[in-house]
């Protein structure tokens, strides 16, 4: 089911409104959390290929629309929600609409692998909480938050 949903993103409504990023975010952002419907484990390569095909489909749609600006299709793993998410925006990769720090990942595969390796998406195990509690003092002294890793693909006609 996940591969089907990724493919369907290329056909969903698409808003490219550089003056209204909120409309772009609300229209173009998708959360994908389901696994394969037959229960067979998906490979990272299959999921990566599906996202690359979706990016190509969106790129073609944007060209047909005659949009002449920069546009970026991007994918990230929301570990707290246990979902892969993707969106398209009329921004370059360095201006994606995230509130926190993010880095552009070279490979989509590493992001997908993290998602596929999550046996309990969106759930934090008690043992992890106990371990986190033990490191609370250290964290208070030196807060270390890893930036969100995001894969991007240029889909606009202007680079």
Contact 96, 150 (CB under 8 A): yes
- 30-62 pLDDT, tens per residue? 999 865 555 667 899 999 999 999 999 999 999
For 65-98, the pLDDT digits (tens) are 999 999 999 999 999 899 999 999 999 999 999 9
Tokens matching residue 8: 């369907």
pTM: 0.84
DSSP element (H, E) containing 103: strand 102-104
* Reported confidence tier of residue 134, pLDDT bands at 50, 70, 90: low
Average pLDDT over residues 4-18: 95
Report whether pLDDT(3) > 60: yes
């Amino acid at each position: 089911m996940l591969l089907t949903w990724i493919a369907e993103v290329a056909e969903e409504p698409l808003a490219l409104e550089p003056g209204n990023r909120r409309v772009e975010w609300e229209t173009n952002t998708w959360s994908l959390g389901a696994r394969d419907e037959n229960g067979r484990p998906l490979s990272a390569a299959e999921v990566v290929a599906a996202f690359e095909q979706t990016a190509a489909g969106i790129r073609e749609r944007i060209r047909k629309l005659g949009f002449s600006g920069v546009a970026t299709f991007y994918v990230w793993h929301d570990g707290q929600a246990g979902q892969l998410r993707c969106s398209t925006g009329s921004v370059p990769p360095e201006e994606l609409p995230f509130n926190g720090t993010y880095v552009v990942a070279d490979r989509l595969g590493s992001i997908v692998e993290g998602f596929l390796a999550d046996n309990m998406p969106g759930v934090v195990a008690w043992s992890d909480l106990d371990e986190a509690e033990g490191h609370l003092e250290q964290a208070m002294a030196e807060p270390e938050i890893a930036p969100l890793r995001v894969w991007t693909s240029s889909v606009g006609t202007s680079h």
